[in-house]
Amino acid sequence: MCGMIGPMSPTPARTSSHAILAAARAVLEDDGLDGLTMQAVAARVGVRAPSLYKHVVDRAALIRGVADAVVADLEDALAISRPSAEPGDDLRAIARRYRAFVRANPAGYGLLFADLPAGAAPDPGRLALLARPILETVARVVGESDALPAARTFVAWAHGFTSMERAGAFRLGGDIDAAYAAGVDVILRGISGPVTPAST
């Protein structure tokens, strides 16, 4: 009873949106955004490039699909299942997982804040959801009213550090792992203090 799965077709689809998305993501990590051609993706799923247009509007939409999938995965990676009694530990855990994710998905993560061709940028609404666990955790440190700027300091640092590391920008030696761990603590100490500048 094939009919229970779907309508009979003279020629059933030889690929799917899901397979195309997975292939595109794999090609991106292997060969970078320039290597993410319609032909490369098509070859990976076993069809010719024109067939992709049955499932994808165009290359920009395919890139956006990959970017959105990366955002969703990062969201999962940052979710806090069981909050610790010490919010600072939760923020350290978020920082650790953030960096692990960027290292595991360097090219994919690079899509999130890059300037991409029109229509290829990830959904801003989904991207904004990433802030939630960070904002909540920071709020447990500094209180709701001061949480937004403090969370922005944290997320800017986490994004900046991991992006620069990904680009190979830390070239002056030293222990990068230690610098990252020290960074969270610098921010935790900084946001825990008074709101007025330290120098006055």
Give the one entry of DNA, a copy of itself, none that residue 88 binds, where binding means its C-beta sits below a cut-off of 5 to 8 angstroms depending on kind. Answer: a copy of itself
Report residue 192 as tokens: 């825990």
Tell me which stretch binds DNA (CB under 7 A): 31-39, 87-95, 128-136, 151-159.
31-39
Which one of DNA, a copy of itself, none is in contact with 79 (Cβ closer than 5 to 8 A by kind)?
none
What whole-number distance in Å separates Cα of residue 44 and Cα of residue 21?
A: 11
Measured between alpha carbons, how far is residue 123 from residues 61, 96, 129 in Å? 11, 25, 10
Nearer CB in complex with DNA: 35/190: 35
Which of DNA, a copy of itself, none binds 15 (CB below 5-8 Å, type-dependent)? DNA
Among positions 17, 51, 84, 153, the unique one binding DNA when judged by CB under 7 A: 51
Residue 47 or residue 95: which is nearer to DNA going by CB? 47
Please, what is the end-to-end C-alpha distance for the chain in angstroms? Answer: 78
194 lies in the site for DNA, by CB under 7 A = no
- The answer to whether 67 touches 111, Cβ cutoff 8 Å, is yes
Is residue 53 a contact point for DNA (CB under 7 A)?
A: yes
CA distance 84 to 80: 9
